[in-house]
Structure 1
Amino acid sequence: MPDYQAPAFLTELLKAKSPSGAEAQAQAVYDKFVKPHADTYEKDALGCRLATLNKKGAPTVMFAGHMDELGLIITYVNKDGYLYFDTIGGHDRSIISGRRVIIQTTNGPVKGVTGKRAIHLMEESDRKKVPEIHEIWIDIAATSKADALERVSIGDVATYDHEFELINGSVGTARAFDNKVGAYVVGEALIRLAKENAKLNAKLVSVATTQEEIGVRGAQTSAFAVDPHVALAVDVGHATDHPDCDPRKFGETKLGAGPIVCRGPNINPKVYQRIVEVAKKHKIPIQLEADPRPTGTDARAIQMARGGVACGLISIPLRYMHTPSEVVDLEDVENCVKLFVAFAKSISKDESFNW
């Protein structure tokens, strides 16, 4: 396979360190790439970015992908200068220790390592236990509490020091594919529609949302502000094509087989049908998943905004979710962008998805 070139917009988003509530670096990337192509561009009180195209169109279509990621937040420094923390978002405690981390401070990044008692110093019974959060610390090579507090502050956030890298063709690994790929998809779809001067009937608002990992909070407020008639949320979904993943429990989805289209109560059936029709018409590969309840994505908040929104959910297949080395095929990301572009173009003037 020839060398694969990842888009600069995506790679800069992946490099940005943006735990929930501290999304400034991702905001700056979104501002740089999306703002020049929008008719209007707004920031809100939660830090979301709302980019509008064809502002006089109807109906109003909202695209939403969250730009926040998992992180750690410093809560305590002991007398010897070791930092204790709490988690931002859902972490697997078994893989936190032994990681390089970067702490964002007012004076710039501070590097550290997550540590715990070495296995050689544990009793046999302790070796079988997953450490509690308070049993793990961050070592920044400080000599004392005062020394540490000269460099970091309570409330500073940290992320794993694992950067994006292609590992084979278009398949890459990164710390935060969840959900920088979603923020990229909604922004890139608007950029492409603007560049081709697409004749849209709909008013399109692409939103990079915040604080999804701690309760889809940015989606809740931005959906109220946008007041869309129809919306597509994009997030990552579990690729189940790896060992120890029973498809009878988790369904069957694969890396490289196209975006995953959700069905279930969170999804408007007419929106679902339109997504499938558009994918077929444009020969975009898709996969299906079923979810019998409100999904753990921005779609759950958007659907219930104001008087209700006709909502769809599309996911990028991903292995090893919420770990420092998530794996995605960037061809799935590209096909997702194409699907969003085609969906926006498919909306007729004043079309309703009520049923």
Structure 2
Amino acid sequence: MDKSAKEFLINILETPSPSGYEVPVQNIVREYVGTFADEVRTDLHGNVIASCNPSAELRVMYAGHADQIGLLVTYIDENGFIYTNTIGGWDPQQLIGQRMTIYTANGPIPAIIARKPIHLLNEEERKQVVKLKELWLDVGAKDQKEAKEIVAIGDPVTLELGYQEMRNNMANSPGMDDKTGLWVCVEAARRAKERGGLNVALHVASTVQEEIGLRGATTSTYGIDPHVGVAVDVTHATDCPTIEKFQEGEVKLGGGPVCYRGANMNPVVVEYMRAAGKTASIPLQWGAQGRGTGTDANAMQLARGGVATGLVSVPNRYMHSAVEMVSLDDLDACADLLAEFALSIPADADFTPR
């Protein structure tokens, strides 16, 4: 991973993008892809689409979603405490005692999210799983009037963002889901463009609103109208305690890209991906899904008259938490795999299952 690519990764991880509020991170994406793409556009939904060799007849689309889970300010009480609803899927247990940031019209406001201390919980309360409505944000305001002067209903909230490197080329940060997948798509296109020899039009979509229903993938796929689509998202690493491999498969951090087979994946795309891994000497991990996946691949496959779809995933420990953890080696391997995949497709390729 070269210096500029790593800076791009850190920048998007440390920039807020709750679903529906992706503009700050999309500005970074737009600037970065502008250094190599032949065309860059932003659609009315907010998807940023970078195209390489756009005049080619066969259209290939890579999709990684720019949005992350977050919260949304819904109420400020008389004492200045702030209540929220969720954006995307949260385990409220992950939120207790976290440092948070509220993004207001006048800039970010630090906050903490809290509940009644354990010393004051009665016996019945201690047995119950906490609900989001029992948590509140505290910005240090002395009353409702002061809080309303700085925070507005509808302001988005994230965990305190921050990138941290660890041993064995691992890293943690909120929002690894799916800014790592977005990074892979962008970096794969950059590497393919630099190598030269693309026979296809390669369109990279930084999609919006995946966490609330694959919405950006639906609109951007319709607009691009690809023949082939590959979504890049994270998947659960199962190399940690309590996760059952016989249910979730065997997926290791540092083990390389996870390629999926199943109903959501076109078998010709799968074989092209397998061949690309062999050509580039990239070890692949394999996953299986017997129905539509909860990723942009599901929306891509069903767009217009149908798209030959694939799914490549980045192994991720502790998904949808403040400490999502990935291997930087896996990110590089995923980008190399998708660059090789795009370059391996001839102009007259046929992805019709036979």
TM-score normalised according to structure 2 size: 0.97
8 Å contact from structure 1 (residues 162, 325) kept in 2: no
Counterparts of 2:74 and 2:236 in 1: how far apart (Å)?
32
Helix, strand or coil for the counterpart of 1:218? helix
Q: Relative to structure 1, is the Cα distance of residues 20 and 99 closer, same or farther in structure 2, using a 3 angstrom cutoff?
A: same
| Gap regions ≥5 residues in structure 2 | none
- Aligned 1:269-348 pairs, distance under 5 A: 269-348=267-346
- Supply the AA of the counterpart residue of 1:336: C
Identify the residue that residue 28 of structure 1 maps to in structure 2.
Answer: 27
Helix, strand or coil for the counterpart of 1:237? strand
Give, in angstroms, the shift of residue 245 of structure 1: 1.1
Helix, strand or coil for the counterpart of 1:68? coil
8 Å contact from structure 1 (residues 260, 314) kept in 2: yes
Counterparts of 2:251 and 2:94 in 1: how far apart (Å)?
25
Counterparts of 2:301 and 2:206 in 1: how far apart (Å)?
17
- Supply the AA of the counterpart residue of 2:154: G
8 Å contact from structure 1 (residues 21, 210) kept in 2: yes
Per-residue CA distance 1:254-273 (angstroms, 9 max, x = gap) = 11000100000000001001
- Supply the AA of the counterpart residue of 2:327: D
Identify the residue that residue 248 of structure 1 maps to in structure 2.
Answer: 246
Matched, 1:163 2:165: no
The answer to which of 261-270 and 27-36 deviates more is 27-36
- Aligned 1:105-116 pairs, distance under 5 A: 105-116=104-115
Among candidates 203, 206, 213, match of residue 205 of structure 1: 203
Matched, 1:68 2:67: yes
Give, in angstroms, the shift of residue 5 of structure 1: 10
8 Å contact from structure 2 (residues 5, 187) kept in 1: no
- Aligned 1:1-80 pairs, distance under 5 A: 7-80=6-79
| Gap regions ≥5 residues in structure 1 | none
Counterparts of 1:50 and 1:338 in 2: how far apart (Å)?
20
8 Å contact from structure 2 (residues 15, 161) kept in 1: no
- Supply the AA of the counterpart residue of 2:76: V
Give, in angstroms, the shift of residue 192 of structure 1: 2.1
Identify the residue that residue 128 of structure 2 maps to in structure 1.
Answer: 129
Counterparts of 1:151 and 1:303 in 2: how far apart (Å)?
44
Counterparts of 1:205 and 1:250 in 2: how far apart (Å)?
31
- Supply the AA of the counterpart residue of 1:128: K
8 Å contact from structure 2 (residues 192, 340) kept in 1: no
Give, in angstroms, the shift of residue 299 of structure 1: 0.2
Count of residues in Structure 1 that have an aligned counterpart in Structure 2: 351
Identify the residue that residue 236 of structure 2 maps to in structure 1.
Answer: 238
Matched, 1:267 2:265: yes
CA RMSD of aligned residues (A): 1.2
Helix, strand or coil for the counterpart of 2:61? strand
- Supply the AA of the counterpart residue of 1:23: E
Identify the residue that residue 350 of structure 1 maps to in structure 2.
Answer: 348
Counterparts of 1:45 and 1:134 in 2: how far apart (Å)?
34
Identify the residue that residue 139 of structure 2 maps to in structure 1.
Answer: 140
8 Å contact from structure 1 (residues 14, 180) kept in 2: yes
Counterparts of 1:7 and 1:36 in 2: how far apart (Å)?
15
The answer to which of 122-131 and 58-67 deviates more is 122-131
Give, in angstroms, the shift of residue 36 of structure 1: 2.5
Per-residue CA distance 1:306-350 (angstroms, 9 max, x = gap) = 000000000000000000100100100000000110001011013
Counterparts of 1:162 and 1:324 in 2: how far apart (Å)?
8
Among candidates 193, 218, 221, match of residue 220 of structure 1: 218
Give, in angstroms, the shift of residue 169 of structure 1: 3.1
Counterparts of 2:68 and 2:241 in 1: how far apart (Å)?
26
Helix, strand or coil for the counterpart of 1:233? strand
8 Å contact from structure 2 (residues 262, 290) kept in 1: yes
Per-residue CA distance 1:54-112 (angstroms, 9 max, x = gap) = 01112100000001001010000000100000011111111212010011111000000
Identify the residue that residue 119 of structure 2 maps to in structure 1.
Answer: 120
- Supply the AA of the counterpart residue of 1:317: P
Give, in angstroms, the shift of residue 6 of structure 1: 7.4
Helix, strand or coil for the counterpart of 2:179? helix
Counterparts of 1:118 and 1:102 in 2: how far apart (Å)?
22
Question: Structure 1: which 4+ aligned runs deviate by more than 3 Å?
Answer: none
Counterparts of 2:276 and 2:94 in 1: how far apart (Å)?
41
